[in-house]
Chain A
């Protein structure tokens, strides 16, 4: 569930006002971050047939707000999550190319796919994909977008001596495939980066292959040191068969952090944040998502329900698969609750992912560096728990320590996102 953002904190500001986005992006740029990343959700989540009302909800269209942010930043990469199921290649390719032009080569695209008819109800193309077709469509979508970006020669527009364009250089394309059968003239000149940076979050076998074959960045969920290393080794080892090297694909786990003046203070704060993230009603909803039943009659501070999960129903809609095997999860949760004598809420807090980095600025900086030096990650995507101030202390306290160590840039050394990430320039 998307309950990471704590809105009950008095410092929590608007999640939709442009000033909040400006603050976050400018803070990230002050910290010399590679990019600012926006997620996407094209239908409001529902629980038991009603719109979920406990978490922060209401977001802008990613590419529009990133374009606006390009005007108030100068180097920061701008990464948009754009669904390949409820869009068409011509439009997505031109919008990403536009962002790349407007930002002078700072655009990135997090390619996601959904397959649910639930989200499809908001779109005229409607319908949905068989789960097995998700990746074939995503692959063909990305391939088609690349063909469109390549349809303008880099030197297509001399714009001199009465000649705006060069013969044969502008926009011819033709794509015939399983999902797309399109042809004509693409209407946006080649983006400054050639192709925007491609991000993928796939974690399944198929997802890892897709990323190894065609992504520049993996947005990974493996934020623990050991599993991070395993994932890192696995994915990097897949690159060679696509003629790519380990440097061609950056692995960036999503991480959270909590700072304190002492380790104890940081841990106390982290516990408080988790309690705020999992309120009494949120705890019941988490349980209901696994149990597939209405559990609203149960006391969140009491023991787990004695009824067994109903696996025939799915009460939760509109977000990534929560748990693949609910029966197994339920059994595990029951065992854990019995072993540690946990209430429902305590159990959910316990099982919800703990913050990745908790400690003093010094210890967090050391831990971040350790992850990267020991091949658990090439970097991180920080998910702040507060809007808009959630990156402030990271940038003010941790970044300078990393810079002092010489393991993080003191300043940007080039204009494009591809350059920040150390990716090869496209010819």
Chain B
């Protein structure tokens, strides 16, 4: 069995003190070169894709509001643009930025990801993300959110219904130009066949979008949609709208339980497990610097590449999204330690087989939903 491996890039790494780790480059965090070096390293390791975290508020140790900590990384760059800036410098690795579906216009998301798919020649994906934070809503001033409370089921439910509508709009817009819409017919003087362009006419509970897209159908047809979930509601969202779901099991038994729950919702959904990884013994020092042990929604692994390989094969997911604790150290340990270890066990590719991202997961290029069957 061959695993799929993705890496989640965020700031200096997933430990809040990662910017103070040995080899960290906090002075270069907001430069293109910093990200290019990381993604090129990930491609050298034949990884499936990298994800770029994003949100529309400043990082915070609190879930409900900004904090006043000055000893952690603050500030980030727009993930779609970051992914686009590394696209021409790489040729195989998938590029998956995060965007908000709570505040960002679905039309802008659709053309942004489609444009990333063009710039990367078929390697774009997308991670839609909901945001219930009242402070983030105040950055837009269009509506007021209640105080943050994950137990507010009615509010959370509405956020996910809205997210589902946003993904539906984005997917329809990607399909709104049939593949052969551009005809350049000199005889009739027509550049496009407008019968092969389609209004999406989406009318939902939260908004309406007319279409068609201004961007022709992206190279992959439908760029890969991935979602992160920790509970039934987001699992249902992913099962209905995404191609890949990232989950956060705490151990082997939990992994089995989650897998069963998700399989029941959608047997075709690809399920990846998220893990924070420290390949070495540097976590304790970073915990000391930060003043507290790392807290994470995902299982935190510490150990050697061989031990990590054991865990990945033992948990039994088809793929994993690894969150390096500190960059570039833990990324390099993945590409130069974990990958050879898995290859030696026949559990990881030794070359990229397909140029596009969907193909890497065995997903074909879907026909546009609007294409007439002839």
Contact = CB atoms under 8 A, between A and B. Distances in A.
Interface in A66-91: 67-68, 70-72, 86-88, 90-91
Interface stretch (B80-88, B297-305, B359-367): B80-88
A300 to B, nearest CB: 11
A280 interface: yes
The prevalent SS among residues of A at the interface is loop
Contacts of A186: 58
Contact of A8 (B30, B108, B186, B212): B186
B26 A18 contact: no
The residue among A44, A65, A167, A185 with the most chain B CB atoms within 10 A of its own CB is: A185
Contacts of A303: none
Contacts of B142: 88, 125
A88 B108 CA distance: 12
A68 B58 contact: no
Interface residues on B, range: 35 or more
Nearest to B110: A61
B215 A59 contact: yes
Contact of A64 (B30, B71, B81, B191): B81
Interface stretch (B99-107, B238-246, B320-328, B346-354): B99-107
Contacts of A57: 191-192
A109 interface: no
A167 B216 contact: no
Nearest to A20: B118
B88 A159 contact: no
Given A41-B214, A162-B71, A184 B57 contact: yes
Interface stretch (B203-211, B221-229, B270-278): B203-211
Contacts of A22: 88
Interface in A127-159: 152, 157, 159
Nearest to A279: B189
B115 A64 contact: yes
B251 interface: no
Interface of B: 19-20, 26-27, 30-32, 36, 55-59, 66, 70-78, 80-82, 84-89, 103-108, 111-112, 114-116, 118-119, 121, 135-136, 138-142, 177, 182, 184, 186, 188-194, 197, 206-212, 214-216, 289
Contacts of A123: 105, 107, 207, 209
Given A58-B216, A165-B74, A64 B116 contact: yes
A352 B66 CA distance: 56
Contacts of B135: 184-185
A28 B215 CA distance: 24
A187 B75 CA distance: 5
A95 interface: yes
Instruction: Report, as a range, how many residues of chain A touch the other chain.
Output: 35 or more
Given A184-B138, A188-B76, A162 B84 contact: no
A162 B289 contact: yes
Contacts of B58: 170-171, 185-187
A126 interface: yes
Interface in A89-105: 90-91, 94-95, 98-99, 101-104
A124 B106 contact: yes
Contacts of B208: 121, 124, 126
Q: In the A-B complex, list the 4 residue pairs whose CB atoms are closest, starting with the nearest.
A: A124-B207, A60-B115, A68-B119, A64-B115
A153 to B, nearest CB: 12
Contact of A122 (B70, B84, B107): B107
A234 B139 CA distance: 38
Contact of B215 (A60, A95, A125, A164): A60
B14 to A, nearest CB: 15
A67 B107 CA distance: 19
A8 B36 CA distance: 39
Contact of A71 (B27, B85, B105): B85
Contact of B191 (A7, A94, A165, A189): A7
A71 B114 contact: no
B318 to A, nearest CB: 30
Given A16-B215, A65-B119, A70 B289 contact: no
A164 B77 contact: no
Nearest to B79: A98
A102 B82 contact: yes
A164 B85 contact: no
Contact of A60 (B114, B182, B192, B209): B114
